[in-house]
Structure 1
């Protein structure tokens, strides 16, 4: 298999260099805490390592590749699409009530000292790639597989991810950064309030000034708490009810995660015209993943209905050691 050619450079319109730089630096910072955060209004980009910063900021291209010549950094695949007008406010309360009833039957596997949280996942990104020689721009979709281990306090971790420049065998996520609602650890989640009103108030307070507005940020933060994390069983009902209390929440009857699994979603359209979906199994309401769908054409040329980002949780477990697989 041949390696991908290096991304061609191209000039960006005024202001776009800073746009990409700010976005990338946000991703690099988030990768030590909450790798699937996608800032609203900013088109999702393929996860990059810091060494790709110069190339991306200069070219505006969000593709990177490994240092070897044998393995391509990213797997290209057809872009996903969805109904840009899907979603209704009708039935939100009924769906959440069913989710809460099922969640009440779940039991925790208690963690012990020395345990690690293990998450296996897949993500996809869709973006515009430019060619400096021809001036051609085309829409590109990529897929990435990911394994991450986190200590219970969140201070230590390990990441193995395809499509990201990293050392052989993965890279450390040791950051020294404390846990937060946007980067929760096992211990942090265990201390969160289970009263939905109190939890929502905490989310609003802790994310004040972030995102495109308090409601948009609050909904995406619920996704952070459900995503690459290991919430205790008692917290799931609170998270569902908290999401439902945020203004503008919808039900999407058929949502598809990055692994191709169909589920039902709690969703919300943000101020930038992106529908953020939290996807659950239709029978047992297990959290499957999330996706983001354009509800209108964007300024970069992507059409309404384009799935700009999707993620699927494939495995979630407590294990006895870092790099141990269930």
Structure 2
């Protein structure tokens, strides 16, 4: 049994953990389960329409492309493991960024999400995030509706909050967003991931020992690192090599379109209850594009959220663009 099955709060929390590095959030929605080495990825206050009052609807054609399921087209020629190995090769070709502890990891993404997992209108949000490279400052961000180029919000500080008292802000800074010390050997990295699991912010009463001791936990941590922060090319390649070993991943047949309209190939990851989680890669170059999550109700699959990573860079201060 994996960590999702053990959480009584279910599939919606798993989806939000997957999206938290990219989806627009209010200033108070970043939380930590406890002052520990693990990183909390579950934000509270997740209903984005209530937070921002945005209502940008995805066209029917784009939504149909994004919610394409298994079996709609002939099977792909490459396996999930082969795609991950190709993604590792692509990662090694990327230029390496270096950062001082006082600098920031800038990330820009495009997120299409609906207010509720299986109902409500879709919103498309462009999100810009400035995370402290060395974990010595608070994260800052701004966002706008994709349909409004001049609709940027003010730059906002995202503070950590106490899971035991959600209304209480903590003085602690988030973990470093620049992972220059990650092992670049897949075997060594896999051991590292087992020793440094991502914080799932489990509900009270959950069997933490069983969850974090599960063999699948290392792969869950690997996925979270692929989606957020900055991982140097060789270490990113090692993460994809690790994910190539995860049993149960399958390639979605047919063409896939990400939240930014880019065509790619999707790998459906195992272990999600009540829906599906896909990692998207460029169909030709196999560069990582982003993620999408869907829910399954009464045998019907519908898109819940899709996040496209547009660019990542190192800058000197919040608000600065590369």
- TM-score in same-fold range (> 0.5): yes
Spell out, residue by residue over 1:65-121, the C-alpha distance to the aligned partner (whole angstroms, 9 max, x if none). 55xxxxx53423347242332588962332233233333333313224643211111
Deviation at residue 155 of structure 1 after TM alignment: 3.6
5 Å-filtered alignment, 1:184-203, equals 185-186=177-178, 189-203=179-193
Corresponding residue for residue 270 of structure 2: 269
Distance 2:185 2:282 in 1: 24
- Structure 2, unpaired ranges of 5+: 1-7, 30-43, 146-151, 161-171, 203-209
Tell which deviates more after alignment, 72-81 or 245-254: 72-81
Distance 1:208 1:320 in 2: 27
Corresponding residue for residue 231 of structure 1: 231
> Matched residue pairs, number?
264
Distance 1:149 1:271 in 2: 29
1:75 alignment partner, SS class = coil
Q: CA RMSD in A?
A: 4.0
Deviation at residue 314 of structure 1 after TM alignment: 1.4
Could you tell me whether the CA contact under 8 Å between 2:143 and 2:153 is conserved in 1?
A: no
**Does residue 84 of structure 1 match 2:72?**
no
- Structure 1, unpaired ranges of 5+: 1-17, 38-44, 52-56, 67-71, 130-136
Deviation at residue 209 of structure 1 after TM alignment: 8.8
Distance 1:234 1:316 in 2: 16
Corresponding residue for residue 103 of structure 1: 91
1:76 alignment partner, SS class = coil
The structure with higher relative contact order (CA 8 Å, sep 6+) is 2
Deviation at residue 142 of structure 1 after TM alignment: 1.8
Could you tell me whether the CA contact under 8 Å between 1:292 and 1:309 is conserved in 2?
A: yes
Could you tell me whether the CA contact under 8 Å between 1:215 and 1:246 is conserved in 2?
A: no
Corresponding residue for residue 257 of structure 2: 256
Corresponding residue for residue 152 of structure 1: 133
Give the alignment partner of residue 304 of structure 1, picking from 300, 303, 309.
300
Distance 2:261 2:288 in 1: 14
Which has the higher Rg, Structure 1 or Structure 2? 1
Could you tell me whether the CA contact under 8 Å between 1:89 and 1:251 is conserved in 2?
A: no
Distance 1:23 1:275 in 2: 13
Spell out, residue by residue over 1:8-63, the C-alpha distance to the aligned partner (whole angstroms, 9 max, x if none). xxxxxxxxxx969x959x97xx79xx8238xxxxxxx9845559xxxxx99x9663
1:190 alignment partner, SS class = coil
Could you tell me whether the CA contact under 8 Å between 2:252 and 2:268 is conserved in 1?
A: yes
Give the alignment partner of residue 63 of structure 1, picking from 49, 53, 74.
49
Distance 1:153 1:280 in 2: 28
Could you tell me whether the CA contact under 8 Å between 1:218 and 1:246 is conserved in 2?
A: no
Could you tell me whether the CA contact under 8 Å between 2:26 and 2:51 is conserved in 1?
A: no
Distance 2:76 2:275 in 1: 15
Deviation at residue 128 of structure 1 after TM alignment: 4.2
